[in-house]
A and B are shown apart, each in its own frame.
Chain A
Amino acid sequence: MISFKDVKKRFDSNVVLDGFSLDVHDGETMVILGYSGTGKSVALKHIVGLLEPDSGQVEVDEQIVHMLDRDGLTQLRSNVGYVFQSSALFDSMTVTENLKLGLKRQRLSDAEIRDRVAASLALVDMEGTEDRFPAELSGGMRKRVGIARAIALHPRYILYDEPTTGLDPVTSAVINQLMIRTREKLGVTGIVVTHDLESAYMVGDRIAMLYHGRIRQVGPVEEIRRTHDPVVRQFLDGRPEAAAEADSGMFRAFR
């Protein structure tokens, strides 16, 4: 279980998370919705200790992330696959080397590593790209390799940061299928950060909306789709006054 407990985080005067609490249960896929720049990525980074909360805490399997020592953090990170918004493939390495890097940190034989790489690339339909460099791949392909790199670790949790943002509708659908397939095959618990509603409805069990630094509403997909909460409603319906409201929120944060 991943659980955020009253997390507060600010960068200088920019308050990003302000009492953020959320529980993600084992086996479910939680979608976190929110406007751009509201702190979705910041929230994800707390789970693997890339950022530390100013107050409050994030717990993964009852362990408080920011209290872990170096070895504890390494242990935790080997249980969490992270798919970055920009894919974050190492551009000096081939696809295979990208996948192998994380595996080398686990106690696996060379044969096991090779099998994992092959199986992960097969799962995302990227066989045949083993020796290519990231610069030679399209955005959608890079996303898929990023997912393969995360699932190669056989993590218990997988975090997707805007997996479909910037992709065309067909490629987005492919990525959505992939997230569903990953979950069916590996039984991982997932968190998907996005502002793509179609994707949210398709892959999520529950949806949480992040607004002004905290969770505005959380519930099963059907419940959220029928919500009467004005803020969530505006976001789901994509009405322009919602955007204006979001902007004013952002400007407030910067003042």
Chain B
Amino acid sequence: MYKALSLTVANWLSTLGSVGHFLSDVARSLRDVRIWTGLTVEQMRRIGVDSVPIALFISAFTGIVLSMQASYTLTGAVPLYFVGTAVGKGLLLELGPVLTGLVLAGRVGANIAAELGTMKVTEQVDALETLAYDPHSYLVVPRVIAASVMFPIVVAMASALGIVTGWLTAVNMLELSTFEFFKGIKMFYQDKDIWYGLVKSISFGFVIALVGCGMGLSVRGGAEGVGRATTKAVVYGSAMILVLDAVWAVTVL
């Protein structure tokens, strides 16, 4: 029992150690600007542009649901134009970034972990090193930067579409006029609504890519290892988004 406990603690410490090691390697490889700049553009396309359809799909439906639910919750209690407030704030502050983040933790995080994991088990990562490339600057940095840059853009598009579908729902189903809907949106609007959501998205992109890369590069033992790393990337990536979200809420809101 005691032995098992100390083993667990030792495992935790060694995991913590390798995470720290990984982070410092990544930070150090930022120096190789010439290597990662070109690759980052390609990753921005793969991580960002290719994620747009799924993000829009999700937010379109979120906008509809938010609108209906707000009207249901608010009926009788407060003026109906608060539906606009609920849709706007709900999407910008929370649902836009978090739902997009969770979906992309699946899509982008899994993709990165599987790709780097496969490269690892087929010795392509070793090959990179022997060709005098640091895998951190060649593989990790471009993905992390691309995700950090593209996530807020994808989230902004998603939130915007969600507001549009929320508005269309309000106008067509709730007997709310366009004027009233946007009055509701504007009424409690602060600039913080925008930048809070975007900063949050940057942090989500950063974490998802970093976790995906870390899991991919630490794969051992063939296809099975790649599968395990992919699952872990999704699970840990999603968990970290929820934790980060709470941290942002407590510290900034």
Q: Interface of A with B (CB < 8 Å)?
A: 45, 48, 50, 70, 74, 77-78, 80-82, 84-86, 88-91, 101-102, 105, 149, 153
Residues on B with beta carbons closer than 8 Å to the beta carbon of A80: 130
The CA-CA distance from A153 to B130 in the complex, in Å, is 11
| Contact across chains for A84 and B129 when beta carbons are under 8 A apart | no
| Contact across chains for B132 and A88 when beta carbons are under 8 A apart | no
| Contact across chains for A84 and B132 when beta carbons are under 8 A apart | no
The CA-CA distance from A78 to B134 in the complex, in Å, is 13
Classify the secondary structure of A's interface with B: loop
Residues on B with beta carbons closer than 8 Å to the beta carbon of A88: 122-124, 126-127
Interface positions of B from 131 to 146, Cβ below 8 Å from A: 131-134
**What's the least CB distance linking A50 to chain B, in Å?**
5
A-B residue pairs, 6 tightest by C-beta: A102-B131, A88-B123, A88-B127, A82-B130, A105-B132, A84-B123
Residues on B with beta carbons closer than 8 Å to the beta carbon of A84: 123, 126-127
Residues on A with beta carbons closer than 8 Å to the beta carbon of B123: 84-86, 88
- 0 or 1 for each of B104-138: is its CB under 8 Å from A? (1 = yes): 00000000000000010011101111111110000
The CA-CA distance from A88 to B129 in the complex, in Å, is 12
A-B contact pairs, 11 of them (CB 8 A): A45-B126, A48-B129, A48-B130, A74-B132, A77-B130, A77-B132, A84-B127, A85-B123, A88-B124, A88-B127, A105-B133
Closest B residue to A90 by CB, please name it.
B124
Residues on B with beta carbons closer than 8 Å to the beta carbon of A77: 129-132
The CA-CA distance from A52 to B134 in the complex, in Å, is 16
Q: Interface of B with A (CB < 8 Å)?
A: 119, 122-124, 126-134
The CA-CA distance from A74 to B127 in the complex, in Å, is 13
Closest A residue to B131 by CB, please name it.
A102
**What's the least CB distance linking A148 to chain B, in Å?**
13
The CA-CA distance from A90 to B126 in the complex, in Å, is 11
Closest A residue to B42 by CB, please name it.
A92
**What's the least CB distance linking B183 to chain A, in Å?**
51
B124, B129, B132, B133: which has the most chain A beta carbons within 10 Å? B132
| Contact across chains for A86 and B129 when beta carbons are under 8 A apart | no
| Contact across chains for A82 and B132 when beta carbons are under 8 A apart | no
Residues on A with beta carbons closer than 8 Å to the beta carbon of B124: 88-91
Residues on B with beta carbons closer than 8 Å to the beta carbon of A74: 132
**What's the least CB distance linking A152 to chain B, in Å?**
10
| Contact across chains for A50 and B126 when beta carbons are under 8 A apart | yes
The CA-CA distance from A149 to B128 in the complex, in Å, is 11
